[in-house]
A and B are shown apart, each in its own frame.
Chain A
Amino acid sequence: MSSQPSGLVLDHVVIRIGERPLVSLSANIAPGEVLAVMGASGSGKSTLLAFVGGFLEPAFAASGSVHLDGRDITSLPAHERRVGLMFQDALLFPHMSVGGNLVFALRKSAGTNRRELAEKALAEAGLEGFFERDPATLSGGQKARAALMRVLLSQPRALLLDEPFSKLDVALKQQIRSFVFGEARIRGLPVLMVTHDPDDANAAGGAVVELGAQ
């Protein structure tokens, strides 16, 4: 299957718990596009993300494969997949400074001027001068932006978003949403997003899949 297209490809992915099929999905997400996966809680949305990210619990069994830019990542350990993960909480590591969080995400190949790279990324996100700040002192929007810059600095080839905007208030939600989708588009990252908010799906402007609707 060397003819896999670039982007994120889910090829006949079926996830079962015991004998019961929970998720069944095939999809092509082109670079820069967003696939929104909708469904009620318990529909297996987050399980699908866990499978793609490499965190599937042993209680689940999965078949099918995941390809990223032509590479089969189905059985790679999570940290070798180059798939960036974001949750509804920013989850900045509480014991590090904001800048420390970003530097932590940089790969070895990023070179030696790591602090400079982190400062630049912070500036891009409107967080100039935030390097030494305690993550706990940031507002919700600032945390979300710092978390996005952190994941982008790790040079992922795809993004997985798990209800990423559900804890933000309405005004902030739009701002962060367009920031995230915009960055993904600029960098040509395929995005797999699970959400229960139809607005998220609409704003993404891509395909929408409804789980648990068979």
Chain B
Amino acid sequence: MLRAAPAITILVLLAPVLFGLSATLLPAFGYLPVLGGTGFSLAPFEQLLALPGLLRSSLLSLFAGLVTTLVSVIVVGGFVASWSHTRVFRSLQHLLSPLLSVPHAAAAFGLAFLLAPSGWLMRVVSPELTGFTRPPDWLIVNDPVGITMMAGLVAKELPFLFLVTLAALPQAAPRGKTAIAASLGYGRIAGFLHTVWPQLYPQIRLAVFAVLAYATSVVDVAIILGPTQPAPLSARLVQMMNDPDLSLRFMASAGAVLQLAITLGALAIWLLLERLGGGALSRLAATGWRFGADQAARLLFAGLVVVSAMAIFAGLFVLALWSVAGNWQFPDALPESLTLRTWERQLSMLGRPVLVTLLVGLLSTLVALVLAVACLEREARTGNTGGNRALLFLYAPLLVPQIAFVFGLQLFFLASGLNAGFVALAMVHLVFVLPYVFLSLSDPWRALDVRYLKVARSLGVAPNHIFWRIKLPILLRPLLAAAAVGFAVSVSLYLPTLLIGAGRWPTLATEAVALSSGGDRRIIGVYAFVQLVLPGLGFALATLVPAILHARRRDMSGAS
């Protein structure tokens, strides 16, 4: 089992991606015998290109991806440069970390409820400051350029990039370098950019690419916050992919190929930006750019992080408030009354999506955990980490746009006549859960002091016994934390659930996003709130269980 673990893991990660991609590619060129496509043609592409507003949809996707990534990288880099190793940093770290577990859809709904013309912010300042007694006719949410969508994506990707950066930071050995730079008269930001960033960035690069791939092809956030006339490409494709008219599947395949090209194009532009940025940075270093008076910039970066985090928290609060709101008319800041009626009405409907979400999440997380642990244990026993190639395999499902390969998997299930059941759904979730579980577990696993294991061996204890009695218990906290991360990823997954579950396996993510068109804030509030609570419970358990089990063991209290 242990010996086969790396191979199985690579198969789990790569097979669906490669297989799904090719299953997308064939129908894009007209080949899909089940639907009558027996020859190759360019008709699907011709059909696609004839769609009104296609260019605009494509540019929206490209632009949204690049802007989201650029802003996220600048804010995270600027914030870490400005504040690392300070009290401010530690407290903001506690503010950002929990946001990782917030599902994209819930965060997006929260922002919509906050920012919309009839949203909470407007209610707070109306009518006193604005004079509005009815919501203004502004397109803030669903604005045609996608600014709110990008803001939502940035707010949600910041915590992810921040935590990845935080994990990579020690390897760039920042403390001595920034101290030397400071003694040479460099400001915090300039010193960090000159001495630490060049080593730090390569370590977080794959994560940055993952953000780029995600933001160019995102669906749920685009449906909730994005433009509608036309919508970004991926959001339009999903409609075609689920259209009862099966002949649209050909055009949808061509669209998925276009989406892949857009993501690759964004990546190419990003590589160019990297070179430009690197060149600019080394020219600045050569001129001795010290930026000693960087107080204002430092405050700005802290401010951006705080505002984006608070926006999500406030949005979630408003969301919860809507779910229990009685009558709540426009300029009132708070509902006239609180009631559980919406909850009571929805309770019977919630059961199945909650159950499916739980089961898919638990199953995919459990399998991911077993595979990750087996790979890491194999690595520990052979000393072979697999290096950069292994890392690339891990990131593969995150670097290819979901829509480009998951749609292919949907077509495969359609073509093969296999009923895409629960197991298929859990398998597809596993593809996305496994990388996150592995990445969160690998650092603590590798950091375990191997002398504990050597001592145990010298006491005459066999390796397998040591694994269960020493290694797993000592690593219980990071194990459960990785499980919580994996579960949160699964709860958040929208597109794969929609395409593979195809309505027969509704989860909270698919149900909540489906409600967005109806626009009933109370019902959306209920679903989004439950979607938010499940991963929150996971993290709570991951903290509580080790705390209780090791209540009387000071060195197990998680500081290490």
Contacts and interface: CB of A to CB of B under 8 A. Distances in A.
Interface of A: 53-55, 57-58, 77-87, 89, 91, 93-95, 97, 104-105, 107, 134-137, 150-151, 154-156, 160
28 contacts: A53-B457, A78-B454, A78-B458, A79-B459, A79-B461, A80-B460, A85-B458, A86-B455, A91-B455, A93-B456, A93-B474, A94-B555, A94-B556, A95-B473, A95-B474, A95-B476, A95-B556, A104-B469, A105-B459, A105-B460, A134-B555, A136-B553, A136-B555, A150-B459, A151-B458, A154-B458, A154-B460, A156-B458
B245 interface: no
Query: Which of B462, B473, B553 has the most CB atoms of chain A within a 10 A radius of its CB?
Result: B553
A147 B461 CA distance: 16
Contact of A91 (B449, B469, B554): B449
Contacts of B463: 79
B455 A87 contact: yes
A154 B120 CA distance: 67
Given A91-B451, A91-B452, A94-B474, A84 B459 contact: yes
B445 to A, nearest CB: 16
A78 B459 CA distance: 9
Given A79-B460, A82-B460, A154-B459, A135 B454 contact: no
Nearest to A135: B555
B383 interface: yes
Nearest to A58: B383
B552 interface: yes
Contacts of A58: 383
Nearest to B550: A95
B470 A55 contact: no
B458 A84 contact: yes
Nearest to A87: B451
Nearest to B546: A95
Contacts of B457: 53-55, 77-79, 85
Contacts of A79: 457-463
A54 B459 CA distance: 12
Nearest to B552: A134
Contacts of A94: 474, 553, 555-556
A136 B551 CA distance: 12
A104 B455 contact: no
Contacts of B461: 79, 104
Contacts of A83: 458
Given A79-B462, A154-B459, A95 B451 contact: no
B119 to A, nearest CB: 49
A137 B459 contact: no
Contact of A134 (B452, B455, B456, B553): B553
Contacts of A81: 458
Query: Which of B383, B458, B463 has the most CB atoms of chain A within a 10 A radius of its CB?
Result: B458
A213 B462 CA distance: 37
A79 to B, nearest CB: 5
Contacts of B452: 91, 93
A97 B476 CA distance: 17
Interface in B389-437: none
Contacts of A160: 458
Contacts of B460: 79-80, 82, 105, 107, 154-155
A87 B453 CA distance: 12
B2 to A, nearest CB: 16
Contacts of A104: 456, 459, 461, 469
A141 to B, nearest CB: 18
Main DSSP-derived SS at the B contact region? helix
Contacts of A156: 458
Given A79-B461, A87-B455, A104-B459, A93 B470 contact: yes
Nearest to B466: A79
A156 B449 CA distance: 23
Contacts of A54: 457
Interface string B178-195: 000000000000000000
B458 A53 contact: yes
Contacts of B553: 94-95, 134-136
Given A78-B457, A91-B455, A155-B460, 8 more contacts: A79-B458, A80-B460, A87-B455, A93-B452, A104-B456, A135-B553, A136-B554, A156-B458
Contacts of A57: 383
A117 B517 CA distance: 71
Nearest to B476: A95
Contacts of B449: 91
A104 B455 CA distance: 11
Interface string B214-234: 000000000000000000000
A89 B458 contact: no
Interface in B9-65: none
Contacts of A150: 459
A54 B460 CA distance: 12
Given A78-B454, A93-B470, A95-B550, A151 B459 contact: yes
The 8 A-B pairs at the shortest CB distance, nearest first, are namely A85-B458, A136-B554, A94-B555, A78-B457, A154-B459, A136-B555, A105-B459, A95-B473
B459 A134 contact: no
B555 A55 contact: no
Nearest to A95: B473
A86 B462 CA distance: 18
A38 B190 CA distance: 47
Query: Which of A53, A80, A82, A91 has the most CB atoms of chain B within a 10 A radius of its CB?
Result: A91
A53 to B, nearest CB: 6
B281 to A, nearest CB: 37
A170 B470 CA distance: 32
Nearest to A49: B454
B4 to A, nearest CB: 21
A51 to B, nearest CB: 13
A104 B460 CA distance: 10
Nearest to A81: B458
Contacts of B383: 57-58
Nearest to B452: A91
Contacts of B476: 95
B554 A134 contact: yes
Contacts of B474: 93-95
Contacts of A155: 460
A86 B456 CA distance: 11
A35 B476 CA distance: 40
